[in-house]
Amino acid sequence: MPIPPSSPGGSPSTVILSKCGDVVLVPSKGNQAPGKLLVSSAFLRGASSVFDKMLDGRFAEGQALSSANPSEIPLPDDDFGCMLLLCMIIHLQTSDIPRRLDIIPLADFAILCDKYDCVDAVRPWSRVWVLELLPKPDVAGFEKLLMVAYALDLPDEFYKVTQSLIRDRTFSFDTEVASHGTDFLPLVVFARLQKGQKLYQHLAVAALNPDYVNQVLFSGCTHSKEVYCNYLIKLKSAGLWPTKALDLAEYRRRLSRIDSVANGSCNTYYCGCKRGTNIMSVVIEKVDHVLNSVTGMCLDCVYQAAMKGKEGECRLQHSEGAF
């Protein structure tokens, strides 16, 4: 979260985001000491439908607004850092906005933006933060990006997060961690993720299946059987046989550490045992094909399945069989 800048003319605990501000927000969630944000009601109303209704004059908070005597609005359920970040974006005070945001603060920020219905205003920065975290599927809480992309309506990032969870994770998946204390994510998301993980795990195992290799090698000669046994030994030494649940990228990493399988040495030129040196390249090619074929989930299809009221064409093109 950004560090509050110094605020000439204001108290030490007041951050001035608009010199002509007519509203002072006072977020103080939990045990935080209340901090104050001097902001413009016009900026807030333009970015957030919730603030628009709160400050349109129908409620006490929006009556007699004046920069000479700004109205204070207590926000006891809102985090100061998240609200500061939101107001900096809304007021175009971008010099102090961090280029990177950890997963938990980002998840908290997404919840705040959903609460105040201002996801459109923060979308460019949200995309920057999510894309920064995408290459790190092993980081603790990575699955929270599901909720972040869902709540902030980021179709491209939602597709990439779900693609990564299918490709770079095994069957272990903590739905509570992903939800981050919310009920935003519909059950269909988790069901489709599990379906995708099982499908691609099956395809990866099939790619290195010794039965398939045996069919490639089989020629009836004893050397072909020897090459087949050597292949099994290589798989076992790499921890790939007997098969076990691994993320798809791990299958590829372990295969890349296996050197070539020795050729057979019979006298028949076209014998299957001569293919020993090609077996690993064939298997790796098949596993690469599985890795490259992993698809993510369409956010608009998920919205429609959850009956969130978003109808129309999907923003991402995909086949009917996509997750």
Structural contact between residues 41 and 65, judged by C-beta atoms closer than 8 angstroms: yes
Return the pLDDT at 218. Answer: 62
**How far apart, in whole angstroms, are the C-alpha atoms of residue 78 and residue 30?**
9
**How far apart, in whole angstroms, are the C-alpha atoms of residue 312 and residue 318?**
14
DSSP 94-114: -TTS-S---HHHHHHHHHHHH
Average pLDDT of 166-192?
Answer: 90
Return the pLDDT at 212. Answer: 61
**How far apart, in whole angstroms, are the C-alpha atoms of residue 124 and residue 113?**
13
* Res. 15: pLDDT tops 90: yes
**How far apart, in whole angstroms, are the C-alpha atoms of residue 175 and residue 40?**
39
Average pLDDT, whole number, for the chain?
87
pLDDT tens sequence across 85-105: 999 999 999 999 999 999 999
* Res. 5: pLDDT tops 50: no
Return the pLDDT at 110. Answer: 98
Structural contact between residues 247 and 168, judged by C-beta atoms closer than 8 angstroms: yes
Return the pLDDT at 9. Answer: 46
Average pLDDT of 182-206?
Answer: 92
* Res. 11: pLDDT tops 50: no
Q: Is the domain 1-97 a CATH 3.30.710 member?
A: yes
Domain ranges of the chain: 1-97, 99-198, 208-292
Question: For 27, phi and psi rounded to 5 degrees?
Answer: -75, 140
Percent of the chain with pLDDT over 90: 61
Average pLDDT of 194-220?
Answer: 80
Structural contact between residues 194 and 250, judged by C-beta atoms closer than 8 angstroms: no
Helix, strand, coil % in the chain, rounded to nearest 5: 50, 5, 45
314 Rama class: left (phi>0) / alpha (psi -120 to 50) / beta? beta
pLDDT band at 113 (very low <50, low <70, confident <90, very high): very high
DSSP 275: G
pLDDT tens sequence across 117-152: 999 999 999 999 999 999 999 999 999 999 999 999
